[in-house]
Amino acid sequence: MSVNHQCSYDSGRRGNARRVLGSLGIVLGVAALVLSFTAVAEVPGAIPPQGTHDGKDVAQPIEFPHNIHADVNKINCMYCHTYARRSKVAGIPPTSKCMGCHSVIATDKPRIKKLTEYWENREPPPWNKVHDVPDYVHFTHEKHLKRFVFDNDALPTENVSEVCAFCHGEVKTMTVAHKTKPLNMGFCKRCHEANHGPFDCWQCHK
Amino acid sequence: MSLRNLLENWGDYRKGREQGGHHKYEHMWGMAIDLNLCIGCNACSVACYAENNLAVVGKEKFEKGHALHWMRVERYWDEPNLGEDRVSEYQVHGASFVPTNCQNCNAATCEPVCPVAATYHTPDGLNAQVYNRCIGSRYCSNNCPYRLRYFNFWSYYESSWPAPLHMQLNPDLTVRDKGVMEKCTFCVQRIRAAKDKAKMENRVVAEGGFVNVGDQQFKVAPGRAKVQDMEFQTACQQTCPTSAISFGDMLNPDSQVSKLWRGHQVELGKTSQKKPNPDLRGYRLLEELNTDPCVMFLERVREV
């Protein structure tokens, strides 16, 4: 009886300890979850897609510094990629858009000299595509921007780069864009599931 | 439609719409073809080739039945040989034409036999074919009573579109490779563009519920795009010189195609149309097989 009592007493103490540890764990877990969410979910009303990818470096005719434009000078992504909110493709800006600034800004830098050369020869720099989805995929930038930016009152339009980062990664920290997200069907599907996007095959496959 | 949905609702999958189906519909695209207006010029077929990146297979393969004409104009010589003494296999006068594209059946026979669910019914009432899911078993084609599914026996990319002809390919559509089944999609790329446009302009029906078409009731999904009638046309409809083809949403009671179906008392979900007035010309192809096709034909008025 006493042994039993001892045992039950012991187990009770151990149980208490376990409970304390457990609750500590839950608190820590919640804290970690909150932290991770505050670290990742900068876009209110949206759950970002999960998954990373280490794409090949794609060489470009001019080593375009995204970081200087988007991070240092805080230029909105849609200033240059102006078709993103209007059409399926985000588009590469025409050289005239580059020259709008760079006929006066930083004209002595070697990259700008190369750009000016292209401009004067009246030929666009042959940019190479970094983020490409297969031909059988129908993807519209405009509808995604509408859902996450323009219909999302909680997100100021200046912060659109957070939404772009869902699929394009932190382009702000890159010079030439580099593929950091897988952009495969699972990647799309997980996001559509979490954000209640359309789930029909023919919505995306063509 | 996820695989889970397919497995859990397998019993509902083949039931078709009359038993409730498994869908909340967004649209129900349908067609009406007036054979009185059809002159058999094959312009619809040509337009389809241009719009949908169809390969031209050549004479030898055409003879073997490898042609990929999604919209084919069938010819029948079932009329008397007017003004001719000699009766030949292909008489000069009196041919009837039936332009046949995929009937987009609501109880499609091709769908349940696909081993990989590459063909399925969309909430738009379309019979979809997902090319990159298709493994080329050809069960669907064998089960189609209309023979309106076409198989890519060969890769036609280089032979059909040698440079610079590849520049004319439609970018809204895949160029199918060999081993893949294909068929008329009711120009789904145009449907998709119209729906995207409507949604971008906030033309959306917020509430779900039920829509009655005839004595049939359709569950409809909330938040569906509000596409105007004739906002877009299919390629065959657009090119038809006599406007024999009408296309539209049958869930919209004011659309041209709904009016034609109603006017000729042809209804979805029936295996035969009991029409009191024999002057009404509407019928559907092989509807007695309970495929419930979404294409209605208006019979040709004959002289004799």
* Contact assignment for B199 to A140 by CB distance below 8 Å: no
Is the confidence at residue A119, as pLDDT, over 90?
A: yes
User: Per-residue pLDDT for chain B (304 aa), expressed as one digit of tens each?
Assistant: 466 766 666 555 554 444 445 578 899 999 999 999 999 999 999 999 999 999 999 999 999 999 999 999 998 887 766 666 666 666 777 788 999 999 999 888 998 899 998 998 888 989 999 999 999 999 999 999 999 999 999 999 888 898 899 899 999 999 999 999 999 999 999 999 999 999 999 999 998 888 888 877 888 888 899 999 999 999 999 999 999 999 999 999 999 999 999 999 998 888 888 888 878 999 999 988 888 899 999 998 876 5
pLDDT tens digits for range A177-206: 999 999 999 999 999 999 999 888 899 998
Residue of B nearest to A136 (CA): B174
For residue A181, the distance in angstroms to the closest alpha carbon of chain B comes to 22
* Contact assignment for A206 to B196 by CB distance below 8 Å: no
| Mutation site, A89, A151, A206, interface B, largest B CB count within 10 A | A206
Q: Give B79's Cβ-side CA count (13 Å radius).
A: 17
Query: To 10 degrees, what angle do helices A110-120 and A95-102 make?
Result: 130
* Contact assignment for A201 to B130 by CB distance below 8 Å: yes
Structure confidence at residue B5 (pLDDT)? 64
* Contact assignment for A136 to B132 by CB distance below 8 Å: yes
Task: List the domain boundaries for chain A.
Answer: 1-40, 66-92+127-204
| Three-class secondary structure of residue B145 per DSSP | coil
* Contact assignment for B123 to A146 by CB distance below 8 Å: no
Q: Which domains does chain B have, with CATH numbers?
A: 3-298 (3.30.70.20)
- Residues 193-212 of chain B whose Cβ lies under 8 A from any Cβ of chain A: 196, 199-200
**Which token pair is B156?**
């036609």
Cα–Cα distances (Å) from B127 to B7, B39, B174, in that order, read 19, 28, 17
Closest among B139, B103, B115 to B292, alpha carbons compared: B103
Tokens 């996001």 belong to A191
Closest among A28, A34, A150 to A84, alpha carbons compared: A150
Cα–Cα distances (Å) from B273 to A74, A90, B232, B270, B291, in that order, read 66, 51, 29, 7, 14
* Contact assignment for A205 to B173 by CB distance below 8 Å: no
Q: What is the DSSP letter of B257?
A: H
CB B84 within 8 A of CB B91: yes
Closest among B150, B140, B157, B144 to B70, alpha carbons compared: B150
Residue of A nearest to B177 (CA): A136
Is the confidence at residue A15, as pLDDT, over 90?
A: no
CA distance B168 to B30: 28
Q: Which residues on chain A are in Cβ contact (under 8 Å) with B175?
A: 135
Q: Beta B149-151 vs B181-183: how paired, if at all?
A: antiparallel
Is the confidence at residue A27, as pLDDT, over 90?
A: no
